[in-house]
Chains A and B, each alone.
Chain A
Amino acid sequence: MNVAGTVSATILVVALALVALIAPFQYVFLESELLIAILYAMSLNLLMGVGGMLSLGHSAYYAIAAYASSLLLTRLGWPMGWAMVAGPPLAAAGALLFGAFIVRISHREHAYFLMLTLAFSQLIFMLIYKWYSVTRGDDGISGIDAGGVLASPRYYCLFTLAVVALSMAALHRIQISHFGLALQAIRDNPERASFVGLSTRYHQLLAFVIAGFFAGVSGTLYAFFAGTISPQIADWSASARPFLSNVIGGVQSFWGPVFGVFVLETIESQVGRFTEHSLLATGILALVVGIYLPQGIFGLLQALWQRRRTIAARRSKPV
């Protein structure tokens, strides 16, 4: 990242930390919730934006980590720290297992890719739903309490902020890395990619593992934030949220999914005040963006900003 980027990111993190420490509790909760949703959407962006692989099954990895860490804590009595640390790697292992099957199809076959990712996540959903003796099925798991200083919502929010900021820095680094460029090349033209000597499947599989890991980080943070979890976090509608955040915000820019999370949240809280059918508004927006704005709302804003700058530059030039 350049200097300006680093400075603005630092300012943003400090501002968010201040909100966590002094704002009324409702905003602290909102901040934690949004940060977790942002990381969830960003992890999917590595697949959708950088890799061009549409996935409607990202909730699988989120749920694996959430359930794994919660079960380790509540049933096996692991200390909180270890239970949390175990979540993301287990999600990554799940992504490795499922990804190995999924990347056998070309990511250009969007429909098949969507169906297969969806099918695997429904597998996890059913597993959680039906395996009552372990997961408590529809009853869900409760008593996932963050202990120590993290028991305070303010400190838990700070902790979430730190983890999400570090994860996003890592995802940004991965996106601009050698591997990130290879992934983009495969997205654009898988045939040319193999004809420069890249093994497309292994790169796509690693993308799945990394995306699964960070979805797992987000899922673990959620479990300890909410204190209770239920199978709904693995359901397909849970996968649709980060998917729509990416589509609406814009998959091709790093901040697109972040923007999308805010748009979704705003629709839900504002439209939700008038009607319980706020999902309808989300759907219509996704449709409009999908058809008319392939780069998402953030992409549109970027293009407008770019245009304004070129016009301004042209004006300031002496004729």
Chain B
Amino acid sequence: MEPLLTVEGLSREFGGFVAVDDISFALRAGERRALIGPNGAGKSTLFNLLSGRLRPNSGSIRYEDREIQGCSAAEICRLGIARTFQITSIFSQLSPIENVQIALIAHRQQSFRILRSSRRAYLDEAAELLAHVGLADKHGGRCGLLSYGDQKRLELAITLAMRPRLLLLDEPTAGMEAQSRRDIVALIRRLCDERALTLLFCEHDMESVFSIAETVTVLHQGRIVLEGPPDVVRADEMVRSIYLGTQHGAAS
């Protein structure tokens, strides 16, 4: 089957420091892949390159039948690639329902309508999406006041409103305690199943990684050092040494 996303020879450096070094991989439609590696391995940079937040120095990103490495973030969004951020990114002065409404409005390219009221815009659909991520009873109030876990859920609802084919999640369970982490993992699995999403996510929590991913890609110092099913990666000696830092004799 034709891959949904193909990355070839992607590189990006910051003032001499090569954050992403000649990375190539392909993501087939419906795949769920985790990106792991220690801090500074290049995961976030890779995410930023894929989502248009950064431009690569070289290499190509092919999505469906288009080269997207030169596209802006907004253009990439409209093509069906949605992302979340490590530090949850929502419209904190707006209410949860408005957060989802504006994503729906943007997705349908209705955001320049200056006379049509937004109060009831796509209200049912927005409510449905909130219910979907478990925020059925949280429509009003400033969403900046929601709990951390609920903000993460809201960010998921925003991305879903864009009807993505490819979802990029940057540390979806970062900073959560065990129970809400398990809830979010279950939610992500359910969403991917129901909506036939292709998923690429980075994550530090191995329990979450292994319960979501079908494939795991290990990054180290900007390069892919291993790619394979979770079992293989879990058992790999090199991965252990990278994570424990024994390679350099400095356990952190």
Contact = CB atoms under 8 A, between A and B. Distances in A.
A258 interface: no
Given A181-B98, A185-B91, A197-B78, A176 B119 contact: yes
Interface in A114-136: none
A173 interface: yes
Interface in A176-201: 176-182, 184-185, 187-189, 191-200
Interface string B78-112: 10001101000111111000110111011101111
**Interface range on chain A: under 10, 10 to 19, 20 to 34, or 35 or more?**
20 to 34
A187 B91 CA distance: 9
B119 A196 contact: no
Contact of B90 (A187, A192, A198): A192
A96 B155 CA distance: 34
Given A179-B113, A181-B102, A188-B91, A198 B74 contact: yes
Interface string B54-95: 000000000000000000111001100011010001111110
A180 B117 CA distance: 9
Contact of A192 (B112, B115, B116, B158): B158
Contacts of A176: 117-119
Interface string A154-188: 00000000000000000001101111111011011
Nearest to A198: B106
Contacts of A174: 114-115
Nearest to A181: B118
A188 B107 contact: no
A73 to B, nearest CB: 30
A75 B92 CA distance: 52
Interface of B: 51, 53, 72-74, 77-78, 82-83, 85, 89-94, 98-99, 101-103, 105-107, 109-119, 121, 158, 161-162
Interface of A: 173-174, 176-182, 184-185, 187-189, 191-200, 202-203, 206, 210
Given A177-B117, A196-B77, 6 more contacts: A177-B113, A181-B101, A192-B89, A197-B74, A198-B74, A202-B112
